Structure 1
């Protein structure tokens, strides 16, 4: 699962295989700053994004997840 630090936020994004439809889904979780280094402050809980899209490859799903996460951060900080 790729992870990216974007300012004070930590983004986890991934492509997850869906055997029932033979393709990949985009998944995202976003964590914000926390006063406790042993605790992750969930801003966006782990969830599937781009619900209407089944991706052909894991890399495409990860790209879709990353794009969705960036949009979510824009909405959250704006």
Structure 2
């Protein structure tokens, strides 16, 4: 019973992902952030989080802000 419970728990953990980027003004001061979490998302959790962060970052960049992690745009 303990092994089956442990295996079920491991499956739930594998489907989780989270991410966060900070929104910066011209003076490098943090003025906000974008964050996203996926729980129990079986396929592409990390890619889904990256895409949502990309959309949020793109919106703020168009308004003249910068982001803390430029790799999300590239």
Q: TM-score range by the shorter chain?
A: 0.3 to 0.5
Q: Which has the higher strand share?
A: 1
Q: Which has the larger radius of gyration?
A: 2
TM-score (norm 1): 0.39
Q: Which has the higher contact order (CA 8 A, sep 6+)?
A: 2
